[in-house]
Amino acid sequence: MRIAVNEALMKLRKRKTDRTVPLDEPVDLGEDVMQREIAVWDGNPEQLYSGEEMKKILEDALDTLKPDFRTVFTLRDIEELSTEETAEALDISVAAVKSRLLRARLALREKLTRQFKRKGGTGFDFM
């Protein structure tokens, strides 16, 4: 077994190449030379806060669902299991999954609609 581990490590070492790019060196484009520009992929603080706020609102709304509805909604819409996989995982019929999922979605829609109307809207357009 140790021989197999060593062989695998040797293959990884051989495959490993230096894939780093120095950020402070200019890029040679043939005729021109220019400095590297690095784009920032993070959202601005306002976008980050809005995303966190929306996540909290959705989690709170999800917590208000009955456990059967919450479980089906989580498996189907968050974990992205198929209807059949969800039915098998919960040991219920496909029809029961569809029914619970519909009821969960309707309950969430109602809860979130009330939430956003009460707050006067938050600028999120999710439905």
Mean pLDDT of 3-27: 76
State the helix-helix crossing angle for 45-63 and 94-118, rounded to 10 degrees: 130
What are the Cα distances from residue 1, in Å, to 5, 8, 14, 21, 28?
6, 11, 20, 37, 48
Contact assessment for residue 95 and residue 80, using Cβ atoms and an 8 Å cutoff: no
Residue 124 confidence (pLDDT) = 52
Does the pTM surpass 0.75? The reply is no
Domain definitions of the chain by residue range: 48-115
Residue 41 predicted with pLDDT over 80: no
- For residue 65 the two structure tokens come to 């669902």
Which CATH class, in words, describes the domain spanning 48-115? Answer: mainly alpha
User: 5-9, 26-30, 41-45, 56-60: which has the highest mean pLDDT?
Assistant: 56-60
